[in-house]
Structure 1
Amino acid sequence: MVFSKDDVCVLIPTLNEKATIGLVIEELQSLGYHNILVVDGHSTDGTPDIARNLGAAVMTQQGKGKGAAMIEAFSVITKPYILMLDGDGTNPPEYADAMVEPLASGRADHVIGNRLNEYERGALTRLNLWGNRLMNTLFKWAHGVYMTDILSGYRGFTLDSLKQMNLKEAGFEIETEISSAVIHRGLKFEVVPTFYKKRPGSPTKLHPVRDGYKILRAINKYGKMNNPLFHFSVIGVLMGIAGFCLGLYVLFEWLVGIEHLFMGILTMLLIIAGILTFMIGFISDMILGYHREVMQEMRKLRIQINELEKKN
Structure 2
Amino acid sequence: MKFNKEEVCILIPTLNEGPTIGGVVREFKALGYNHILVMDGRSTDNTVKVAREAGANVRTQSGKGKGNAIIEAFEVIEQPYILMLDGDGTYSARDAEKMLTPLFLGFDQVIGDRLINAEEGAFSRMNLFGNHMLNMLFKIAHSRDLHDILSGYRAFTKLAIHQMHLKEKGFEIETEISVEAVRNGHRIMVVPVKYSRRPGTATKLSPFHDGMKIVSTIYRLARVNNPMFYFGMMGLFTTLLGLLTGLYVLLEWLQPGHIEHIPLTILTVLLIVVGIEIFMFGVISDMLLVFHREIIREIQLLQPPKPPK
- TM-score normalised over the length of structure 1: 0.90
Give distance in 1, aligned partners of 2:19 and 2:172. 25
Q: Which moved more, 1:189-198 or 1:285-294?
A: 285-294
- The Cα shift of 1:302 comes to 8.1
- The Cα shift of 1:61 comes to 0.8
Counterparts of 1:180-199 in structure 2, within 5 Å, are 180-199=179-198
Aligned length: 307
- The Cα shift of 1:226 comes to 1.4
Give distance in 1, aligned partners of 2:255 and 2:18. 75
1:121 match: 120
CA contact (8 A) 2:12 2:37 kept: yes
SS of aligned partner of 2:195 = coil
Give distance in 2, aligned partners of 1:183 and 1:235. 22
- The Cα shift of 1:248 comes to 4.9
- TM-score normalised over the length of structure 2: 0.91
Evaluate the alpha carbon distance shift between residue 273 and residue 32 of structure 1 in structure 2; reply closer, same or farther with a 3 A threshold.
Answer: same
| RMSD of equivalent CA atoms | 2.2
Q: Deviations over 1:235-275 (max 9, x none)?
A: 22333333344445545627977544333322321221122
Give distance in 2, aligned partners of 1:116 and 1:69. 25
Q: Deviations over 1:15-44 (max 9, x none)?
A: 222222121112212222111111111223
CA contact (8 A) 1:186 1:292 kept: no
1:276 match: 277
CA contact (8 A) 1:185 1:295 kept: no
Evaluate the alpha carbon distance shift between residue 247 and residue 75 of structure 1 in structure 2; reply closer, same or farther with a 3 A threshold.
Answer: same
2:200 match: 201
SS of aligned partner of 1:90 = coil
SS of aligned partner of 2:59 = strand
Q: Deviations over 1:25-81 (max 9, x none)?
A: 122122221111111112233222222223221111111111111111000112111
Q: Which amino acid aligns with 1:29?
A: K
2:173 match: 174
Evaluate the alpha carbon distance shift between residue 42 and residue 243 of structure 1 in structure 2; reply closer, same or farther with a 3 A threshold.
Answer: closer
CA contact (8 A) 2:16 2:45 kept: yes
Task: Name the % identity.
Answer: 52
Gaps of 5+ in 2: none
Q: Deviations over 1:70-129 (max 9, x none)?
A: 1110001121110001111101111000101111100x2111111112112221111110
- The Cα shift of 1:165 comes to 0.8
Give distance in 2, aligned partners of 1:110 and 1:233. 30
Q: Which moved more, 1:149-158 or 1:240-249?
A: 240-249
CA contact (8 A) 2:135 2:147 kept: yes
Evaluate the alpha carbon distance shift between residue 298 and residue 15 of structure 1 in structure 2; reply closer, same or farther with a 3 A threshold.
Answer: farther
CA contact (8 A) 2:41 2:61 kept: yes
Evaluate the alpha carbon distance shift between residue 251 and residue 50 of structure 1 in structure 2; reply closer, same or farther with a 3 A threshold.
Answer: closer
